[in-house]
Amino acid sequence: LKLIENNARLCGVIFDWDKYNLELCEEISKMNENLPLYAFANTYSTLDVSLNDLRLQISFFEYALGAAEDIANKIKQTTDEYINTILPPLTKALFKYVREGKYTFCTPGHMGGTAFQKSPVGSLFYDFFGPNTMKSDISISVSELGSLLDHSGPHKEAEQYIARVFNADRSYMVTNGTSTANKIVGMYSAPAGSTILIDRNCHKSLTHLMMMSD
């Protein structure tokens, strides 16, 4: 269990049903309710499983050499479904875009990192960040990923997802970090001429907000 708890990269757990039981499954489910579990049993094993137990992510297999390929395919399919389940909308769309090897002729100008590899220093820069960072560095001109400006496509789905996670009515993704987010909220809630009480050690973006909005 410690190995499972400390290894977030695991995409499934395979175990012998005769050696372990549902108690193990329940403990694993407490750590990650989506993690697939694969229980192998022999022909004479007793499967005492209730309807409530079936809500756990368990797949049962019988030890059978003739079914090895089918079992492997089932595990591969379940692993793909698990990854698809845990990925947020925009991240999922971005992974898919990079995986399909799409190419953009517009911004940014480094062309998926290719341009950086034309010089020694550029190659060092490319090697430091890696190919996936470069390939996923794209602009709103990629229509299939939607737009941060008009809240469309996977961007919109991501904002709806964030709102559900934080139990909010709406959520908006902004660039430039906390500083910009603070100023957006501040300008909405405290127009020019308002009186604002803030902490002495507040984020400097609030000071900037008061200077901008007077």
d(CA 93, CA 112): 17
Place of tokens 């698809």: 84
Higher pLDDT, 135 or 1: 135
131 sits in the region (left: phi over 0; alpha: psi -120 to 50; else beta) called: alpha
CATH number of 1-86: 3.40.50.2300
Residue 59 has pLDDT above 80, yes or no: yes
Q: Which distant-in-sequence residues (6+ apart) come within 8 Å of 13 by Cβ? A: 4, 28, 35, 36, 37, 38
pLDDT given at position 198: 86
Average pLDDT, the chain: 87
Residue 48 has pLDDT above 70, yes or no: no
The string of pLDDT tens digits covering residues 61-113 is 888 777 888 999 999 999 999 999 999 999 999 999 999 987 777 788 888 88
Q: Where do the structural domains in the chain lie, given as residue ranges?
A: 1-86, 178-213
Q: In the predicted model, what is the mean pLDDT of residues 28-32?
A: 89
- Sheet architecture: strand order including 13-16: 13-16, 37-41, 58-62
Residue 127 has pLDDT above 80, yes or no: yes
The values of phi and psi at residue 189, to 5°, are -90, -20
Residue 50 has pLDDT above 60, yes or no: no
Q: If pLDDT is split at 50, 70 and 90, which confidence band does 46 have?
A: low
13 sits in the region (left: phi over 0; alpha: psi -120 to 50; else beta) called: beta
pLDDT given at position 51: 45
Any bridge partners for residue 13, and if so which? Answer: 37
Q: In the predicted model, what is the mean pLDDT of residues 46-71?
A: 72
pLDDT given at position 140: 81
pTM (2 d.p.): 0.76
Residue 47 has pLDDT above 80, yes or no: no
Q: Strand, helix or coil at 203?
A: coil
The letter for the amino acid at 64 is A
Residue 188 has pLDDT above 90, yes or no: no
The string of pLDDT tens digits covering residues 134-183 is 999 988 888 888 888 889 999 999 999 999 999 999 999 988 888 999 99
| Letter string b/e over residues 83-117, b meaning 16 or more CB atoms within 10 A of that residue's CB | eeeeeebbebbbeebbeeeeeeeeeeebebbeebb
CB count within 10 Å of CB 75 equals: 17
Kindly report the length of the chain: 214
Containing 15, the helix (H) or strand (E) segment is strand 13-16
The letter for the amino acid at 161 is Y
Residue 45 has pLDDT above 60, yes or no: no
Contact between 163 and 170 under an 8 Å Cβ cutoff? The reply is yes
